Amino acid sequence: MTQVHRRFTDDQVKVLLSGYCQGLLRRAEIQEMVGIGKTRFFALLKEYRAEPEAFSVAYERDAPGRLPAAAEVEIERELLREKAIVEDKRLPISGYNYSALRDRLWKKGVQASVTTIIDRAKGLDCYKPRKKRKPHDREVLTASIGALIQHDSSLHLWSPFAQEKWSLITSIDDFSRMLLFADFVLKDTTWAHIQATQALMQSYGIPLCYYVDSLRVFRFVQGRDSVWRKHVLQTDDVDTQWSKMMRVLGVDVTYALSPQAKGKVERPYQWLQDRIVRTCALEKISAMEDVRAILKEEVDRYNHHQVHSTTKEIPSIRFNKAKKEGNSLFRPLSLPTPYTSPKDVFCLRESRVVNGYRRISLFNHTIEVPKVELYEEVDIHLVPDTAKQVMQLRIWWNNKMVHSVVLPLEGFTVHL
């Protein structure tokens, strides 16, 4: 149907709106005569009531009809760069990402919509239609922030120019969909996940539950973990270092049995992988610190500027709103008794029996243990410092720390 200003004069619409204000005409009658919906009717009525004499149904286009020539040149340049990396068989990029391209253009001051970019892409043979995917019903399972933290890692060649793969560890709040932690590590180790957990809890508090997969860092599964393969040990009969830490903190842990069951945290990996790899390919970035800067920028965009497709809200706004309303299950981080240092909570754990000479043997190191009864079992808290390449040992007995020693990190291997 043609626009109102092309079918009616200003005076004709004024008469109809005046009749409505006087109670002579019903809204439904006017909508049917003019051919507009309820929203449009009340918008016109508001304008008429504000200035009856100056009311007009004519309008002027606010946005310019065409992009400047310089903007067109920049769009073409970015599209051709995108085409080059899509067609490069050496790169793990198979399709175009017009939203990421739009964001790059906006940084350069070129305000172009995705629709405009796609239109130009078709003219430059820089277009591939997206494959139809099976629709996925997404839902928010929790009612409060901190009720469930989905935690995972992804090993990938995040830069085509890097010499090795890195693991990206992330933690996402189920209710707000806000990424609470995201960082690269060289190796997907137990200690890396403990440090990630510590960073999250020191920033936001202790959540009610963590949701993880069955990676050996998080769970012992019989028939897979050869180090503990004994017929007398069944799945979950052995505590991993990570699960010991969670038990000390009083955090429940739920295990997903498949990647599909962890879709809320798997999907962010998909777009992070696409955008980060794409940017690294275009800018020829290879150093982890430079790629980490790109990750930080993408996480900021996701958390603070992008409306989530499921919640229909920006994650940080939804998170802060829930926090302000007291709709949070995060507990303040307080050290459980008898510990006085985070090093005794966020650590690796071993136990040994003191021999007749008041010594213990730990990974080929003989350590004197004073103030401990002979043949008593002691708890050893191990805190690696990879920067200094040392291992700090904090030895506990009868709920007291009785000894502390620092040894070279080399040679220490703690079972997962």
pLDDT confidence tier of residue 329, bands split at 50, 70 and 90: very high
Whole-number pLDDT of residue 234: 52
Q: Which residues contact 368 (CB under 8 A, 6 or more apart)?
A: 358, 359, 403
Helix, strand, or coil here: 332? coil
Please give the class, per CATH, of domain 149-206+257-324.
alpha beta
Q: What angle do CA 371, 375, 380 make, to 5 degrees?
A: 65
What tokens does 351 get? Answer: 């136990």
- Report the C-alpha gap between 116 and 75 in whole angstroms: 10
1 has a pLDDT exceeding 50: no
The pLDDT tens digits for 30-40 are 888 888 888 88
Between residues 213 and 314, the one the model is more confident about: 314
pLDDT-based confidence at residue 416 (cuts at 50, 70, 90): very low
The domain locations on the chain are: 4-50, 69-123, 149-206+257-324, 342-408
pLDDT over 70 (residue 262): no
* Proportion of the chain above pLDDT 70, given as a percent: 88
The reported pTM is: 0.75
Helices then strands, counting H and E runs in the chain, come out as 12, 11
Report the alpha-carbon distance of residue 327 to residue 324 in Å, rounded. 7
Q: Which DSSP helix (H) or strand (E) runs through 46?
A: helix 38-50
pLDDT band of residue 141 (cuts 50, 70, 90) is confident
Q: Which residues contact 203 (CB under 8 A, 6 or more apart)?
A: 180, 181
CA distance 352 to 48: 85
